């Protein structure tokens, strides 16, 4: 479900923004940019959990580790 939903969203987003100059023209550059934003969000989530809900740190850390491969 996750992969299918992500693929459909990204395909629609790329089609809707094509030619507007909002994204790089190169698909590999778009993938790197998306990876960076996902990692940034995951690290922000980890920081929040460390400061507010220590019992949830494991889940947030798993997300960061998954993105790092």
Residue 25 to residue 16: CA distance in whole angstroms: 13
Give the Cα-Cα-Cα angle 31, 32, 35 (nearest 5 degrees): 85
Q: Which pTM does this prediction carry?
A: 0.73
Chain center to CA of 8: 15
Long-range Cβ contact pairs of 20-27 (< 8 A, separation 24 or more): none
Q: Tens-digit pLDDT profile for the chain (69 aa)?
A: 778 888 898 889 888 988 898 888 888 998 888 888 889 999 999 999 999 998 889 989 998 998 888
Residue 69 to residue 30: CA distance in whole angstroms: 18
Residue 69 to residue 62: CA distance in whole angstroms: 11
């Amino acid at each position: 479900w996750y992969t299918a939903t992500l693929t459909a969203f990204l395909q629609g987003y790329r089609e809707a923004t094509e030619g507007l100059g909002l994204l790089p023209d190169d698909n590999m550059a778009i993938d790197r940019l998306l990876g960076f934003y996902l990692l940034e969000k995951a690290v922000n989530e980890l920081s929040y959990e460390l400061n507010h809900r220590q019992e949830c740190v494991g889940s947030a850390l798993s997300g960061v580790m998954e993105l790092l491969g």
